[in-house]
């Protein structure tokens, strides 16, 4: 863990070639997909999404999240030295294990993930789907720590704005037991994808 990620593992860049990034995600299991697939109903949904990908309809919540991602990412960079990231990265030995962490340190030993939320979270009780997502990102990148930062979203009569002056954050450490469970889920999901394609 903590080794510099080889250049060959940086697969596609969302900012440079969004369509190429979307396409590259079809050749493996991402953090979002494996987090969803960790339950039986989620597995079926993730499989359907991989077999017949359809764009998610944009909404105001998503737009607010996109608008906040950059500023939150820069705050994380200033506070922790974790650079914003747009690269889809593959695992060293399991090429179909993929992730795009929101940030990665120059030494490749810390990642970050940023979120917006309509309800504040207890730092000790980050929602399970996000903990799974972060653990998968640490698995793919070989890191052992994630700076998880979030900003509250306020709805002021249909106008969304930040609820705080700066994000809240918590450090999430690597959980190899959860990663092992997610790896089984991902490999089962990828096996089903290949069986149906």
Please name the residues in contact with 19: beta carbons below 8 A apart, sequence gap of 6 or more.
none
pLDDT at 2: 56
For the chain, domains (ranges, CATH) are 7-196 (3.90.320.10)
pLDDT at 60: 76
Closest CA to 99 of 191, 1, 197, 183: 183
Q: Full-prediction pTM beyond 0.95?
A: no
Positions in the chain whose pLDDT score sits under 50: 1
Place of tokens 């069986």: 195
**Could you give the CA distance from residue 161 to residue 154 in angstroms, rounded to a whole number?**
5
- Tokens matching residue 177: 């037991």
pLDDT tens for 2-17 read 578 999 999 999 999 9
pLDDT at 119: 92
Q: How distant, in Å, are the alpha carbons of 9, 80, 83 from that of 75?
A: 26, 8, 10
pLDDT tens for 67-93 read 889 999 999 999 999 999 999 999 989
């Amino acid at each position: 863990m903590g080794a510099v990620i080889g250049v060959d593992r940086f697969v596609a860049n969302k900012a440079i070639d969004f369509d190429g990034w979307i396409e590259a995600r079809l050749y493996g299991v991402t953090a979002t997909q494996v987090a969803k697939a960790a339950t039986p109903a989620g597995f079926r949904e993730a499989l359907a999404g991989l077999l017949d990908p359809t764009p998610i309809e944009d909404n105001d919540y998503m737009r607010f999240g996109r608008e906040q991602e950059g500023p939150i990412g820069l705050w994380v960079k200033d506070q922790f030295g974790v650079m914003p990231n747009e690269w889809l990265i593959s695992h060293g030995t399991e090429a179909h294990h993929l992730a795009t962490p929101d940030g990665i340190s120059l030494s490749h030993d810390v990642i970050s993930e940023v979120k917006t939320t309509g309800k504040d979270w207890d730092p000790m009780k980050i929602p399970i789907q996000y903990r799974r997502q972060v653990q998968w990102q640490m698995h793919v990148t070989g890191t052992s720590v994630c700076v998880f930062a979030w900003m509250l979203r306020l709805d002021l009569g249909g106008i969304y704005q930040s609820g705080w002056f700066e994000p809240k954050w918590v450090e999430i450490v690597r959980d190899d037991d959860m990663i092992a469970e997610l790896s089984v889920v991902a490999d089962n999901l990828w096996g089903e994808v290949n069986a149906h394609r």
